């Protein structure tokens, strides 16, 4: 009875944290406009037309570069026109005033000289698929090392991991690529993934005992969290 009460307390505390912590995390992100540029040339600069000193803050990640304007750059102007300059050309693009206080993301097409809201569907599908594949490879290795060989076990493994990791990475894709709390959100998401995987795999895996299943889920999700933190630090989101 005492153990049951402790389990209910821990579950209640965990669910409360999962509901409250994202609110604090989201509050940390300042109002901004983030312009995503694939394969940006080194000499590319982007600045606010209304403010000659309002050049964007630049961040590089793998094959992308981000140009960000924060509240300090935006609060003194109603003109959201930007100037795009390279060694070969210079042109202006007008933005409508952002309708959101946060996560105003645009993608710049240098060839077409256009700015589209959000992230491209092709980019999102490619990056989500890559992160899911890397996670599956890691967790599949752990699954094998824990002695699971039966087809029934692997079917359950693939089904639950495609569902949970797919949902987690689609959710992460909704955030700004420069969000300071991405790793924090990854931790929250992985905790939820752990709970779902533990419940389902404990119910469907029969090849080995429950203790081994429990140990596998903890080990696999811990490694997945470490790998995921590394991936979202160095690769685009």
List the domain boundaries for the chain. Answer: 2-28+121-234, 32-117
Q: List, in sequence order, every residue forming a beta bridge with 91; answer none if it has no partner.
A: 84
Please give the Cα distance from 237 to 231 (Å, whole number): 9
> So what CATH class is 32-117?
mainly beta
Please give the Cα distance from 181 to 217 (Å, whole number): 25
24 pLDDT above the threshold of 60: no
| Percentage of the residues of the chain whose pLDDT score is greater than 90 | 36
Q: Can you tell me whether residue 89 is helix, strand or coil?
A: coil
How much is the average pLDDT of 80-100?
Answer: 78
Torsion angle, CA of 122/124/130/135, rounded to 10 degrees? Answer: -160
Query: What average pLDDT does the structure give for the chain?
Result: 81
- pLDDT tens for 50-67 read 665 567 888 888 889 999
- Phi, psi at residue 197, to the nearest 5°? -65, -40
81 membership: H or E segment, kind and range: strand 80-85
Confidence of residue 7 (pLDDT cuts 50, 70, 90): very low
How much is the average pLDDT of 78-102?
Answer: 75
Q: Are strands 32-38 and 104-109 parallel, antiparallel or unpaired?
A: parallel
34 pLDDT above the threshold of 60: yes
Q: Can you tell me whether residue 201 is helix, strand or coil?
A: helix
């Amino acid at each position: 009875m005492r153990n049951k009460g402790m389990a209910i307390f821990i579950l209640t505390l965990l669910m409360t944290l999962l509901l409250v912590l994202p609110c604090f995390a989201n509050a940390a992100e300042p109002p901004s406009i983030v312009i995503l540029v694939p394969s940006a040339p080194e000499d590319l600069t982007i600045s606010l037309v209304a403010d000659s000193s309002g050049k964007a803050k630049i961040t590089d990640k793998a094959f992308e570069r981000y140009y960000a304007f924060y509240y300090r750059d935006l609060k003194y102007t109603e003109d959201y026109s930007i100037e795009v300059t390279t060694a070969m050309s210079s042109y202006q693009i007008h933005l409508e005033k952002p309708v959101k206080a946060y996560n105003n993301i645009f993608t710049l097409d240098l060839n077409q000289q256009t700015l589209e809201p959000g992230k491209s569907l092709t980019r999102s599908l490619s990056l989500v698929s890559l992160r899911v594949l890397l996670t599956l490879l890691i967790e599949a290795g752990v699954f094998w090392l824990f002695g699971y060989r039966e087809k029934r076990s692997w079917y359950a493994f693939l089904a639950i991991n495609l569902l949970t990791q797919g949902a987690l990475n689609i959710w992460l894709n909704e955030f700004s690529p420069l969000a300071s709390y991405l790793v924090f959100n990854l931790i929250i998401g992985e905790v939820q993934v752990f709970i779902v995987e533990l419940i389902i795999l404990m119910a469907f895996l029969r090849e080995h005992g429950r203790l081994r299943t429990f140990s596998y889920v903890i080990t696999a999700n811990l490694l997945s969290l470490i790998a995921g933190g590394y991936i979202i630090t160095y690769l685009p989101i």
